[in-house]
Structure 1
């Protein structure tokens, strides 16, 4: 029987240009069901979106609450769920893996920054290698590269970090906030799947266009949760006017 992690990993393989794996980001069980019922084959929680749903600022969600939220999402759907767990909350690799598996996650995002500061890349690579060793093939590890979010934005530096992380066993790398015009360079310098962030405000390339530039998979950060909150705000305003 194919495990959830194996099924999730297989979704990243053999993607044609222009046909990336699109992973909506549920922030609670109800949104997860909406995305699953729409036919998406897998989901990827956004830590920022989950934080907002729980009443926290980004990066301020207690680990227990984040894992509990992931567990509620994973229980609500029959498709694989990957979890954004920020930088790992300071947990040792063994406990981190155990908690992800207990929550029902098949994968995770792990950031290479803490508090807005980039970590030492070799130390982070060593951490990823420990996570991979403990998890074996039970988790799909997406290594976030924060050079464009918290560093100097040098694509070559991003490629160097990505190479360290894939050598350490990461299944995918995620240069968050990388400009679309550097995506071909990132693609050429990166082995394995490449995750890119798509915007929902019409200011950037579509998921298909990002796929044509070299992205393997597409996520949206907190964009979907923000769009839903905006729609709810519009409904609330309408109720006030009608009342």
Structure 2
């Protein structure tokens, strides 16, 4: 049941920017700790208010509602992921295909390190939230830009838009993230599965001199995808 915000009997004064930022930081830290312990399903504005030792009205003033709070948690994770990705961009490989693989691997690593599994589970359960937030995710843009660079270099054809390829491979990414959040697979299997999905998508537009290389790379990932195949055979 969706919680209704408290009816405003008297408007509280809007805090200044510095105070608001400090309050938001404190609440998000408390929310992250709560979600890590109890999961998103148990999160409510009232329980979080008790946890953070603030009023329910403060939470609604800061985030609007529970969905806004979750979106802020996810955006905070995206910001941390973007910072991690930017830190390695200066050392991007010059080879266009290697650059794509590196961008994908960094995105996976940043996700597993900066987004709590409970938050990932919430995103997976709400595709609309994922689509809305992922549009502004720097990591997604970096992968698309890497594909564009590979196209300009002549390694890939321009038959399909990079955003479309990222969208298709991203569907696999989202599915595997759900399995990672559920504890079914570890980060190695997640990374191998996502890289394999991108290899398959890229094969559709690869120039002849690149196809063999992508196919070899995809085949090399099969050894790390054994756990996925086992789970699929078990029907999990």
Q: TM-score range by the shorter chain?
A: under 0.3
- TM-score between both structures, scaled by the size of structure 1: 0.24
Larger Rg: 2
Query: Of the two structures, which has the highest relative contact order with CA contacts closer than 8 Å and spacing of 6 or more?
Result: 1
The structure with the largest helix share of the pair is 2
Structure-2-length-normalised TM-score: 0.25
